[in-house]
Amino acid sequence: MIDLTGLEPVARGAVRDIYAHPQDSGLLIKVINLARRQHEAARSRYDRLRKPDFSDVFLQEIDMVYRTGRRASGQAGRLPLVEALGLVMTSSGVGQLCERIDGPDGLAPTLGALMRDGRFDAAALDKLNDFISRLYELRVVVRDLHPENVVWDEREDTFVLVDGFGLWTLVPIHAWLKLASDRQLDHAIREKLVPRSGLKWDGGQRRLSM
């Protein structure tokens, strides 16, 4: 078991805290945060049958990385998704191991941070559109394309989705039908990314603009 007691998360989300792996500088550990764990413990048996535990998202992400990797087999360049490497027991419950993507000053900057700092320019927009094209090409099922869920991998010269992806339905129709995954991604861009980024979306061309 990995002891996270006394360690400060390097990032926090609404549901998960993210820690640097105490023994491996190339890895991060995602865990369900305390508030969500307390909420899960108080859920009724009926509610648990109706809606899976939030920790199931770890398996959803691992499955999506596996499916995407199979589709990208033989292609050059990295996946547009963070590498989810498996599960591990921690002092804060089940955790997910994933790769750590670094930038010049620590963790790689998010798309939101680049925009707030005035570092998002025409060249970055082209890279963002390339990234989105890869999501469509590889049929990545995206639930939440939030600017804070996308980071800039400077070493690979590409954007990477680090959260908000994976199959969440009992019948994985989005994995079977490209039309279904495309429509889900259309929705994520139109309803999540565009309002939070200020960018414009051409649904016909499937391209963003300033």
- Indicate the domain borders of the chain: 11-209
Identify the bridge partners of residue 164 per DSSP, sorted by sequence position.
none
Give the tokens for residue 86.
């498996």
Q: Is there a contact between 108 and 153 (Cβ–Cβ < 8 Å)?
A: yes
User: What number is the average pLDDT over the span 143-156?
Assistant: 94
Predicted TM-score (pTM) of the model is: 0.88
DSSP 48-74: HHHS--TTHHHHHHHHHHHHHHHHTTT
Distance, CA of 23 to CA of 15 (rounded, Å): 24
Identify the bridge partners of residue 56 per DSSP, sorted by sequence position.
none
User: What number is the average pLDDT over the span 38-58?
Assistant: 73
CATH class, domain 11-209, is: mainly alpha
Query: pLDDT for 109-146, tens place per residue?
Result: 999 999 999 999 999 999 999 999 999 999 999 988 99
